[in-house]
Amino acid sequence: MAFLYMEAVVCFMILMYFFETYLDLRQHAALKLPTLPKTLEGVISQEKFEKSRAYSLDKSHFHFVHEFVTILMDSAILFFGILPWFWKKSGNFLPLVGLNAENEILHTLAFLAGVMIWSQITDLPFSLYSTFVIEARHGFNKQTIWLFFRDLIKGMCLAIVLGPPIVSAIIVIVQKGGPYLAIYLWAFMFVLSLVMMTLYPVLIAPLFNKFTPLPDGELRLKIEKLASSLHFPLKKLFVVDGSTRSSHSNAYMYGFYKNKRIVLYDTLIQQCKNDEEIVAVIAHELGHWKLNHTMYSFIAVQILTFLQFGGYTLVRNSTDLFRSFGFDTQPVLIGLIIFQHTVIPIQHLVSFGLNLVSRSFEFQADAFAKKLGYGSALRAGLVKLQVTELEFSPLFQEENLSAMNTDPWYSAYHYSHPPLVERLAAIDEPDKKED
């Protein structure tokens, strides 16, 4: 008797939903606490805490509904054979427009086009509610309906332009890869990631935002001086108009080798009135670069990608696996989708491990900034960013920002960045040791 792969996958998905919902309930209870953590008493006013708490609870309620609908749809798609049904329907559509249904690449692209349309339709109500109800209610949304749909259309157009050649290349590689398939797939994705990291900030990001050089002044001089002292090869320093969409803030670095760039959101500059706080934030980010965190993370991703492709090559010809999910053929894309579903348990463990490493990196980067003399400024900046509810990445992850009170189990499982309370305690700890 063949193993019931699909049933096992659906059962695990449901079990993980119940487990994560339990953690969400613990976090929701923590969010309802009416008092600040002791570490933040006297640092954040009760009024600002209440505003943050209300925002957090709103997002938490929304999250419960979103996750419930998602697990219902995902389970139904697998359990009721909607995936193989849709694959057959997409193949039947091709002859109607004069295309060859036997061509796997064309069949796959037709399937993906339908999936993209379905995803946009099902995700749209949640995106609209999140942006124009929750974010607007708490004063964070700055974009209009027109801008929202313009970004949506631009994203779909990019998918239409970039998706077909990438998908076609993967299918050809799998069909002709032979015994070295895993190596070929990894090499292709490696080159693609380098190309996208190069093209995205130059060609794609400007389609959505306007990038202008940071004006000459004290802030620019301080950032350039800091970068020079660390031998960081800073070539360009930009400000992006994040305020056109949201009052959340961001900052990031990109570029290879000796061609590095730093981008600051205009909202970050507006909200951190003290230049030292902004420079301290940049010092934290430069700490990631100096301590090779970015390189370690990139190498880890490449190893995991290779292992995933290696696992895929072991099961891609498994007739039982495909039949369990309702397929009587073995298309390349469907094989990749099915494989991703079957290794979900491993992915959860790997994700948890990566979060632990990431949290360690954040503490190290904070310590690096403090060692440079930015401890007080970084502490003030972190508090200000928390209070103003900024979405600061990679310094922050969205889930960390609104939660001043966090459940330790929820935090350990979900957060790739430590909560504010833990970071402030770590920044203060060396001072206590030195006294």
- In tens, the pLDDT along 270-325 reads 777 688 988 998 999 899 999 999 889 989 999 999 999 999 998 888 999 999 99
Catalytic residue, candidates 277, 285, 389, 407 = 285
Catalytic residue, candidates 104, 366, 389, 399 = 366
pTM equals 0.83
Calpha distance 214→219 (Å, rounded)? 9
Is 216 part of the annotated catalytic residue set? no
Reported as a single tens digit per residue, the pLDDT across 36-61 is 888 777 777 788 888 888 888 999 99
362 assigned binding-site residue: yes
288 assigned binding-site residue: yes
Is 67 part of the annotated catalytic residue set? no
CB–CB of 131/143 below 8 Å?
yes
417 assigned binding-site residue: no
CB–CB of 149/133 below 8 Å?
no
Q: Which residues on neighbouring strands pair with residue 254, listed in sequence order?
A: 261
3-state secondary structure the chain: CCCCHHHHHHHHHHHHHHHHHHHHHHHHHHHCCCCCCHHHCCCCCHHHHHHHHHHHHHHHHHHHHHHHHHHHHHHHHHHCCHHHHHHHHHHHHHHHHCCCCCCHHHHHHHHHHHHHHHHHHHHHHHHHHHHHHHHHHCCCECCCHHHHHHHHHHHHHHHHHHHHHHHHHHHHHHHHCHHHHHHHHHHHHHHHHHHHHHHHHHHHHHHCCCEEECCCCHHHHHHHHHHHHCCCCEEEEEEECHHHCECCCCEEEECCCCCEEEEEEHHHHHHCCCHHHHHHHHHHHHHHHHCCHHHHHHHHHHHHHHHHHHHHHHHCCCHHHHHHCCCCCCCHHHHHHHHHHHCHHHHHHHHHHHHHHHHHHHHHHHHHHHHHHHHHHHHHHHHHHHHCCCCCCCCCCHHHHCCCCCCHHHHHHHCCCCCHHHHHHHHHHHHHHHC
Reported as a single tens digit per residue, the pLDDT across 30-41 is 999 988 888 777
Domain extent listing, the chain: 5-391+399-428
Reported as a single tens digit per residue, the pLDDT across 212-259 is 998 888 999 999 999 999 999 988 888 888 777 766 666 777 777 777
pLDDT band at 425 (very low <50, low <70, confident <90, very high): confident
